[in-house]
């Protein structure tokens, strides 16, 4: 656990949380509309495929973002738990699946389906006086479509960009420590490349 809480990971978690909140608040009331949620912050739910610190960051970011929700009493704790569950499943996918295309397809599925099942419960059954199964399934279908738009439409390009930056060795997107350039390290690199 000593190497888990590095300064880099804590900073990355803070940035992910802040981005989630800012991207949600930027769209104001339409980020919380039940049938058609305009919430591009959901693209960030693809990040647990790379970063374990994205799991708590998204959870906290979602709870903070939901402070602006008209369903605040239920949306903050339950919406946060839905995001936490989806993030944990996405993180597990990133650890288990090695094929990049399959990893993104399966990892992105969890934020879509978990939110599509749980958010209508908050809107229809907990906050609406006239709960019906038709209303639930209408919200379910709508949330599947909008979540898929954000997770796959914006999340996949985000995934590709981070994947390429990690391949190039950009340190902000990687946890690998760079070895100091000493005479011994240079010689061992040259021997490996020969």
**Looking at residues 64-93, what average pLDDT do you find?**
94
| 33 pLDDT tier (thresholds 50, 70, 90) | confident
Of the two residues 1 and 134, the one the predictor is more confident about is: 134
Q: Is 1 exposed, middle or buried (0-12, 13-18, 19+ CB in 10 A)?
A: exposed
Q: What is the pLDDT of residue 192?
A: 52
- Percent of the chain at pLDDT exceeding 70: 87
pLDDT at 178 over 80: no
Give the mean pLDDT of the chain: 88
Question: How would residue 190 be classed by pLDDT, with cut points 50, 70 and 90?
Answer: low
């Amino acid at each position: 656990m000593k190497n888990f809480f590095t300064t880099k990971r804590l900073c990355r978690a803070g940035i992910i949380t802040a981005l989630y909140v800012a991207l949600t608040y930027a769209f104001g009331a339409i980020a919380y509309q039940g049938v058609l949620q305009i919430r591009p912050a959901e693209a960030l739910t693809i990040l647990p495929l790379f970063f374990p610190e994205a799991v708590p960051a998204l959870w906290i970011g979602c709870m903070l973002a939901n402070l602006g929700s008209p369903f605040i009493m239920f949306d903050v704790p339950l919406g946060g738990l839905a995001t936490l569950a989806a993030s944990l499943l996405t993180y597990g996918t990133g650890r288990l699946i090695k094929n990049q295309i399959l990893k993104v397809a399966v990892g992105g599925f969890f934020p879509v389906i978990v939110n599509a099942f749980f958010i209508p419960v908050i809107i229809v059954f907990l906050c609406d006086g006239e709960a019906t199964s038709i209303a639930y399934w209408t919200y379910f279908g709508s949330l599947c479509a909008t979540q898929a738009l954000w997770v796959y439409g914006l999340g996949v390009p985000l995934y590709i960009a981070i994947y390429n930056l990690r391949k190039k060795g950009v340190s902000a997107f990687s946890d690998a420590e760079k070895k100091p350039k000493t005479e011994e390290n240079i010689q061992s690199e040259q021997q490996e490349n020969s």
